[in-house]
Chain A
């Protein structure tokens, strides 16, 4: 196993610094950089700092950027954004019991979320029990979303505005893996608190699964008493890549209250396919994900809210130079491009038979400079075409984004 243990700088908590703890005892928990890691492993496969033999490790990442965006010639000027700062804390309670939590501060302190806080019990490598606040494994991005891992400042539209990116819920479930010499297979199956009717009643004016995150009570109680089922199976074959198939579905509406029936049970179901690979020799990294959603929207509601949606993205990242640069030992300079598409309303108008649009297409060329695999400085140019429901001429947006992101 080839280890790439890279540390570019040390940041310790104020507590550690001011307590004058012997920093020589602070060690960085190595990330597993084997070629057989899965998106499933991303939550634990992060650089952590550990002090001595204390069974607690901390870590995190931050990302900040500036952007200048213009939509059809109109701009709000430059903005500087502190998109997020995320803190991880993990603990090995027992050789077979571990805990990890991830707390995210978005846009300063505008949003503070516990994205993950779960206990894992390993009974067998094929039978791990996980309970707490978990990330529903729909697609790959939801599990593997840390900013420093990506060459792009914006998260994929399909991951944030079709699927609810960093969608986490309270629940329980199982996961497991089988390793063989040339492949690894894994599964995940969880029952969690679920969706709510914000998905067809929101300020986005479209069927919008991420709006389900607006329910502040979702960590406390289920909106409708029906669990959300999330399942994923993944196969990684050495030298080929990782293929994931995932499903998430459940009832989203409040169909009864105080024992009284209000409506029939209405479901929202999502299916996603993800794939990633690295082309040998060229070291070109390809990451792609596509998702389809099916929502039982009442026929008597407005067609503004689609019953079917789909969308996805493909990222291609090509390392151009990998060597010591500017004093950084394992630096790399990369070129990348993302193409992404989402159709929030797949269908035709009842009145005219014409296509319902409500779609977006974007292309994002990028260059990045990595001082190490954990730290990236990136420059993106984004150009997108967004059509309204009726398919009127697309609003065109161009944006220059420059930012940094790093684990610490």
Chain B
């Protein structure tokens, strides 16, 4: 009897102790994935469906992969919804000005550098301009989507009227027929403001998602029905509802949460960030307009981008572009989540549009053109101030 009681007591202790010996959740500010606060139950369910499609759907030759492709799942490029790794860098080529891409018949705009067995992947035509594009983080995209065109245009300064050396222009793009215009969208010459992609050439998350299915994975949808290999219109390989769920997932991923906000060095670093001119492009505060997702409506958020194109100098001119952007112009990347990048890039930094910078300091030093003055200002900082600035950036 004593033995029985002893055994039962041991088992009871084990059961009670279960929760104490289980791995805890990482802090919310250490994760990039997870939904924005305030979703309704129905919205949460759609978020979960999109999460599954984005992170768990693996494409194989049996269910439509390729036959030429870059990656075989969304999650391959965006581990934990963070920045990508050079392993899945995209190569885009063929367009050097706003007249459009002249190399479409050679597989442009994107190189599919992998193929399922029995097929041959594409190779880059000789002499063509191209850019390597590192997959970006997915976080907070819905907030960026909900910024009004008016606000974006208000931040632009095409002729540098204030003579601060920073211009900033939207990328005016043609939009595909399946995209719905945002309320109060502002056209210019029949084109609209693009806000996704390193050049800002995708109008919205539906276009970005449909293009990724098609050009990254060789998966056709009713939105992008032409196979990248045969160039023929083929049956859709994922449903419209799956695409919409993924778009909803991307739109409702939370914004990264800044860490160590009360740290004195971080606060000083932020002041330095502003004082040396970084904040002129990497805007610390934007505001959303009305959104059909109430959790995204009329919110103030801190992405550290202005969603505008800037001349980044000859060093970052790859002789390739998209939309109305020049080859030396790049959309200001959002800096939120920067400090968590290593957690999705295998423990190392791969920064700038193609991952060429392996530290934040190196990335700053690669800023030319409109970013040159801030770069110079950074070089002139004391080592202590440089470290405070970097500590601030790593807190984002």
Contact = CB atoms under 8 A, between A and B. Distances in A.
Interface in B100-141: 114-121
A interface, by DSSP: helix, strand, loop or mixed?
loop
Given A73-B24, A397-B23, A263 B117 contact: yes
A302 B65 CA distance: 11
Interface stretch (A84-92, A130-138, A150-158, A388-396): A388-396
A196 to B, nearest CB: 11
Interface stretch (A7-15, A198-206, A240-248, A269-277): A198-206
A195 B61 CA distance: 16
Interface in A258-298: 262-263, 266, 298
Nearest to A201: B60
B14 A379 contact: yes
Contacts of A201: 60-62, 65, 116
Interface stretch (B156-164, B226-234, B290-298, B345-353): B345-353
A298 B117 CA distance: 6
Given A201-B62, A205-B58, A253-B117, A73 B26 contact: yes
B225 interface: no
Interface string B12-50: 001100110111111000000000000000000000000
Interface in A344-390: 349, 351-352, 354, 357, 379, 381, 383, 388-390
Contacts of B3: 325-326
Contact of A357 (B19, B72, B116, B346): B346
A351 B86 contact: yes
A231 B26 CA distance: 47
Contact of A391 (B11, B23, B60, B347): B347
B23 A392 contact: no
Contacts of A396: 23
Given A352-B87, A379-B14, A393 B115 contact: no
A202 B60 CA distance: 6
B245 interface: no
B343 interface: yes
A72 B117 contact: no
Interface residues of A, number: 46
B118 A392 contact: no
Contact of A354 (B58, B60, B348): B348
A392 B343 CA distance: 5
A47 B174 CA distance: 74
A68 interface: yes
B87 A388 contact: no
B125 to A, nearest CB: 18
Interface in B66-100: 69, 71-73, 76, 79-80, 85-87, 89
Contacts of B60: 201-203
A390 B18 contact: no
Nearest to A302: B114
B4 interface: yes
A263 B120 CA distance: 11
Contact of A390 (B15, B79, B89): B79
B344 interface: yes
B18 A262 contact: no
Interface in A64-79: 68, 70-75
> Taking each of A302, A379, A392, A400, which has the highest tally of chain B beta carbons within 10 Å of its own beta carbon?
A302
Contacts of A352: 85-87, 348
B117 A400 contact: no
A208 B116 CA distance: 16
Given A73-B24, A205-B73, A379-B14, A392 B80 contact: yes
A70 B23 contact: yes
Nearest to A73: B25
B76 A304 contact: yes
B79 A203 contact: no
Given A201-B60, A351-B86, A300 B114 contact: yes
B298 to A, nearest CB: 31
Contacts of A70: 19, 22-23
A300 B87 contact: no
Contacts of A349: 85-87
A163 B123 CA distance: 36
Nearest to B4: A326
Given A351-B87, A392-B80, A300 B115 contact: yes
A198 B345 CA distance: 28
Nearest to A203: B58
Given A325-B3, A351-B87, A72 B23 contact: yes
A68 B22 CA distance: 10
B116 A301 contact: yes
B79 A204 contact: no
A402 B72 CA distance: 37
Interface in A84-124: none
A389 B71 CA distance: 13
A300 B121 contact: yes
Contact of B23 (A68, A71, A253): A71
A379 B15 CA distance: 11
A20 B168 CA distance: 91
Contacts of B65: 201
B141 to A, nearest CB: 21
B33 to A, nearest CB: 11
Nearest to B26: A72
A11 B28 CA distance: 53
A326 B115 CA distance: 63
B58 A202 contact: yes
Interface string B182-202: 000000000000000000000
Given A205-B73, A303-B87, A393-B343, A200 B117 contact: yes
Contact of A73 (B23, B58, B89, B120): B23
A32 B86 CA distance: 57
A197 interface: yes
B347 A266 contact: no
Given A70-B22, A70-B23, A351-B86, A392 B346 contact: yes
Contacts of A68: 18
B117 A388 contact: no
A398 interface: yes
A390 B24 contact: no
> Taking each of A73, A253, A301, A303, which has the highest tally of chain B beta carbons within 10 Å of its own beta carbon?
A301
Contact of B11 (A202, A263, A379): A379
Contact of A262 (B72, B73, B118): B118
Contacts of B21: 381, 398
Contacts of A72: 23-26
Contacts of A75: 22
A262 B11 CA distance: 59
Contacts of A391: 346-347
16 contacts: A200-B117, A201-B65, A203-B58, A203-B60, A301-B116, A303-B87, A304-B76, A326-B3, A351-B85, A351-B86, A354-B348, A389-B87, A390-B344, A391-B346, A392-B80, A392-B344
The 5 closest A-B pairs by CB, nearest first: A73-B25, A201-B60, A390-B346, A396-B23, A70-B22
Interface of B: 3-4, 11, 14-15, 18-19, 21-26, 58, 60-62, 65, 69, 71-73, 76, 79-80, 85-87, 89, 114-121, 343-348
